[in-house]
Structure 1
């Protein structure tokens, strides 16, 4: 029964619901589910009157802790500390209690209630909110603690700063713990990430008008026309404008920069060359390598360090690769990508001690991702599937199925409330043993929530079930299609695993849908080419989606000359971009270097994951060792005419 039918004769007046809704008692009724969804929406809007009315009529609902939570969240700014503490006590140890503590900490930080904040922050289990972390440093700063070094490590992502991190930046400057150099770093980061608010804040603290900083980020041509200024801070704002202009027109930025080059200090000149090098790098322009050489002495952001390394890789300049990685902060240098490439660089130096490089490869070779597989091959081994451990018993499955948090997660998934379902599932499984993880993955399989099955099974380290980690559902549909097209089924499954994690109704922000995340326009064009009647509503139909996705994948594979890395890039970013990246090649390039230097972050991650997935699927399907390096191959430039692929 739908909610509108249940409310026959009732009216919604303003934000108040009249008593006809009082019949919503059954915990499993469709009407109760619909009312619960309305309660969540009311809480998000801050409609406390409607939330209170709905919550009062859902007292027997299957998710009582969330009914309780949404009732309070709807009026969070007015909730008293006693009310929140009572909620936390009632639901202690649950995901929603930690979520409530997160919400409350943000509110306590906003009003600068450091007494309650300091009491609650140590109890925040996940501690995964950047703004809460910034408020925590502000609280310590208010107690006159020195927190500058921790703040420098934290303040690296201006788009996520909000009130908390912008406030922390100002407080550090006012307390004398952030110098002008620190603020200039923040200004450069804000420019690099097109973050107008943090740019304004940093500029104000440096004595430059916030209007000038905003123009540098949003209207760089106007900012450049105003001139370079006279102070160091004004020079840096000008360089932000150069950085922003270089993203849209590198030649114009270069002309403006060189015009004022004599007016800049040697370090400012190096910073200017670094921002031009960064822009040239993400366009894969040949000048990038020269610009990075000219940037010597510039303080580089994390992103700039990584792009300098990628361009050096493309030039096979192993000394620069080594020097740049070794200059990275430890947190960045420890990432598997840079462990692998540093080992490769050290391998070219005869002075490297013989035991160093193998030890570096071994430190990541037990991981099934792209660089773990490449490291394993450097150690002389191929990729294989580890033998499965003992099967999950009926008793283990029964115990997991009875887990209240997982039951809540399953309820949320049934309501298509994925965010809440993920929160409950991930919260509970983080404390599971390996046997419990395998049993939980099996529970997810039984309920056809394959993304949680993959996520959960991937967390085991000594017992494995690769049918959970690398599932192959709908094989009876996909196999005939791949065989007819001559496609590598392992690669197709590797791509689906990355695209949708086997969520059939997955839909991207761009409108792509289904297991293979096909765009409506692409689906229409492919359907026309293969003679299939198609309407947009069929995009998530299982057979239609797999048929259209596989045919499109085959088309881009042909346009990529049979290269799976190139075709994977084209499937994600479009054939036109793939052809552009291929034309930028000055000489044949190792597939791993090509993948690492793809300009788009999303596509770079995508291609590496698809290729690693495909290697694991091939080992699983063929039951024999596989080589990721062979699958990646060598990427060559192409003079092929433009394709008419969408």
Structure 2
């Protein structure tokens, strides 16, 4: 009887094993079938690139039930997008709701129609564009303005006042705004003064005409040839005279800032108060935006102070604030932040600096306000939040991590947006398509406050070694987090050992690496830097020579060599730059000579002041990210509770003999 029972058990176990084998083979077949179906994407893309409409139509039929099935139809609609009826775009958007390509198709359609000066056709399509970039926003704003929406002009004051490079759609919107009766005389004057300051004489002539002023290009050209001579003898009787004077002081500031600083008071004498402020603003703005050429100058802050009372554009307010931060002008900083828009002012960055400024005051009310702001900011884990923790005496430690549940992982497998991203990666589709679908999927989950789904996706991506997208996802959770996905530690043995050999903190090295490449070994920058630590070929040659090795270009693609060279170079920069991690981080991104030139000449400054006033926005943000990364990696590497302040030591004075 026992033998019979054992035999039955064996037969049952064999049946279960066979069933599992069949199921496993079935799943493998289904995966292979799905993979084969998805592979049609690449063939359809080739047909699209070749302009083969007939083949695309065939792929549209054969792929209609695939996870990537909407691409052939998207490519077909996109071939003659401007000639499509709005109904075709809306139909696509409704059949593929909240999808990445429906968003792109709708946004591109609006732009194409605006190029044709057709503002009525795209109007019903606007609701399907939910995440526009600036150019798309300006195109949509033109459509809204033509439909009679009066809110457009208030929303796009930054476009109206900007003198930096903008898209044609934003230029078109600004022209539309200039002819609107909703724009006041003061609005037009502010725009004119910005154009004069920037030397945009052609645009200034047009804006001046809307104010009833007759300015000529001939006079602008004459002033440009000798601005200082004009300033000494300039007439100061009419609005046209004042316009030419602003243009002249701007041209002088561009070519010789010191002369402009010493001449601006003379140029302002005998003019109305508002023109005086515009003249001072012109020199202050140019001085604040040419630090790369002219270095820091306390007189720039002085003339910006003298311009206070004239409305600040968002860009001008930030320039004013950074100059105040650089020279510890705390009352000026409070005024600069007060001049910002409400949205701008509420950013963590400016809240932190407002608290820093109030902290310098001695009255109890200011001290109390400062502590309240710091305490609120200390709840977060970003750069300014970590700085705020130091001000309230908190160290930063690992909080509880959320581990995605089986239910989360199951929901991930059913999410169409993430499925598209994973499918595209499985078939090695072009990176632009992969990343667009991934980023879109993360955004949709973020909008639903679905941290669990985001972390499930980050976990799967991490398990695949797809670190850059895992980090992108993990960075966008709100209430739940997992450091292992947001701050991956691949190649840990190499990073730690090479960092220690080079005499640098491995948490800092990881912080650099995360910011440089997101651990994508194939990463290549537009200037030729490559690998995990984005090393330039010339830098690699130098490091190889110093290490007594023969340089091999192919070696940079080797993860071990890239880390070894990168940590060695980072150590070299640190030793050149006062052994200060903040300056060295700036030097790794912008070059050691620039980082050194940004050091103070006459007195030390706090590291947060140095960082916030780095004149290159890319490097400024880079340093903030790297130092924040280092704090998080310090925790993961077992270095105990962290303080960003301990990593951001006081910035010493520049040694002019270096």
TM-score by length of 1: 0.84
Partner Cα separation in structure 2 for residue 542 and residue 199 of structure 1: 54
CA-to-aligned-CA distance 1:175-201 (integer Å, 9 cap, x gap): 321134323333455577787886675
Alignment of 1:394-413 (within 5 A): 394-413=406-425
Task: Provide the rounded CA distance (Å) in 2 between the counterparts of 1:112 and 1:320.
Answer: 45
1:239 and 2:246 correspond: yes
How far off is 1:30 after superposition? Answer: 11
> Does the Cα contact within 8 Å between 2:119 and 2:146 map onto a contact in 1?
no
Residue 269 (structure 1) aligned with residue 276 (structure 2): yes
Mapping for residues 524-543 of structure 1, pairs under 5 Å: 524-543=541-560
Q: Is the 8 A contact 2:198 2:250 kept in 1?
A: no
Does 113-122 or 27-36 show the bigger shift?
A: 27-36
What does residue range 214-229 of structure 1 map to in structure 2 within 5 Å? none
Distance 2:524 2:241 in 1: 45
Q: Distance in 2 between matches of 1:543 and 1:221?
A: 57
After superposition, residues 40-189 of structure 1 pair within 5 angstroms as 50=51, 52-53=53-54, 55-56=56-57, 58-59=59-60, 60=62, 63-133=68-138, 135-136=140-141, 139-143=144-148, 145=150, 147-152=152-157, 155=160, 157=162, 159=164, 161-189=166-194
The answer to whether the Cα contact below 8 Å between 2:519 and 2:532 also exists between their aligned partners in 1 is yes
Q: In structure 2, what is the Cα distance between the partners aligned to 1:445 and 1:255? A: 58
Secondary structure in 2 aligned to 1:463? coil
- What is the match of residue 476 of structure 1? 493
For residues 330 and 37 of structure 2, the distance between their equivalents in structure 1, rounded to whole angstroms, comes to: 64
Q: Judge which range, 340-349 or 33-42, deviates more.
A: 33-42
**Which stretch shifts more, 148-157 or 366-375?**
148-157
Residue 623 to residue 482, structure 1, CA distance change in 2 (3 Å) = closer
Question: Which residue, out of 356, 359, 367, partners 1:344?
Answer: 356
Distance 2:424 2:226 in 1: 50
Aligned to 2:19: none
Counterpart for residue 7 of structure 1? none
- CA-atom RMSD, angstroms? 3.4
Query: How far off is 1:271 after superposition?
Result: 2.2
Q: CA shift at 1:155, angstroms?
A: 3.7
Residues 153-177 of structure 1: per-residue CA shift (max 9 Å, x gap): 5545455643433333333332321
Q: Does the aligned pair in 1 maintain the 2:142–2:176 contact within 8 Å?
A: no
* In 1: Cα distance, 2:537 partner to 2:270 partner: 53
Contact 2:120 2:143 in 1 (8 A): no
* Deviations 1:349-376 (CA, angstroms, capped at 9, x unpaired): 3141665333312332222211000112
CA distance in 1, matches of 2:520, 2:225: 45
Separation of aligned partners in 2, 1:513 and 1:196: 42
1:439 aligns with 2:444: no
Deviation at 1:610, TM superposition (A): 0.9
The answer (yes or no) to whether the contact 2:582–2:607 under 8 Å persists in 1 is: yes
Q: Could you tell me which runs of 5 or more consecutive residues in structure 2 were left unpaired when the two chains were aligned.
A: 1-32
* In 2: Cα distance, 1:472 partner to 1:431 partner: 27
- 1:614 aligns with 630
Given candidates 529, 544, 558, the residue that maps to 1:512 is 529
Aligned residue number for residue 598 of structure 1: 614
In the alignment, structure 1 residue 589 sits paired with structure 2 residue 605: yes
- Name structure 1 gaps, 5 residues minimum: 1-24, 43-49
**Structure 1 residues 98 and 265, CA gap change in structure 2 (3 angstroms):** same
For residue 237 of structure 1, report the CA deviation from its aligned partner: 6.0
Which position in structure 2 is the counterpart of 1:393?
405
Determine the structure 2 residue equivalent to 1:298: 310
1:560 to 564, 572, 577: 577
2:49, 2:521 → 1: CA distance? Answer: 25
**1:91-125 deviations in Å (ceiling 9; x for gaps):** 23311111111112223334454444332223322
- What secondary structure does 2:457 align onto? helix
Structure 2 residue 641 is the aligned partner of structure 1 residue 634:
no
Which range is displaced more, 627-636 or 321-330?
A: 321-330
Cα pair distance change 1:638/1:159, threshold 3 Å: closer
Cα distance in 1 for residues equivalent to 2:344 and 2:191: 18
Aligned position for 1:18: none
Q: Which region of structure 1 is more displaced relative to structure 2, 131-140 or 495-504?
A: 131-140
The alpha carbon displacement at 1:483 in A equals 1.4
Match of 1:382 among 395, 401, 411: 395
TM-score scaled by length of structure 2: 0.82
Counterpart CA distance in 2 for 1:420 and 1:32 is 15
Determine the C-alpha separation between the residues in 1 that align with 2:197 and 2:48.
37
Alpha-carbon deviations, 1:311-348, whole Å to 9, x = none?
A: 22233232222222122221111111110111122223
1:423 corresponding residue in structure 2: 436
Cα–Cα, structure 1 residues 91 and 415, in superposed 2: closer, same or farther, change >3 Å? same
- Residue number among 467, 471, 483 corresponding to 1:450 in the alignment: 467
Cα offset, 1:88, TM superposition: 2.5
Aligned pairs, number? 607
Shift in Å at residue 459 of structure 1? 2.5
Distance in 2 (alpha carbons) for counterparts of 1:366 and 1:41: 50
Q: Shift in Å at residue 86 of structure 1?
A: 3.2
Q: 1:213 to 1:285 in 2, by over 3 A?
A: farther
Change beyond 3 A, Cα 1:317–1:151 = closer
Deviates more, 1:69-78 or 1:244-253: 244-253
Listed as ranges, the matches of 1:282-293 within 5 Å are: 282=291, 283-293=295-305
Rounded Cα–Cα distance in structure 2 between residues aligned with 1:590 and 1:274: 27
Q: Which residue of 2 aligns with 1:326?
A: 338
CA distance in 1, matches of 2:429, 2:246: 47
> 1:45 matched to which residue of 2?
none
Q: Work out the CA distance in 2 between the residues paired with 1:244 and 1:555.
A: 41
For the 8 Å contact 1:109–1:132, the answer to whether it is kept is: no
Q: Quick check: 554-563 or 229-238, which moved more?
A: 229-238
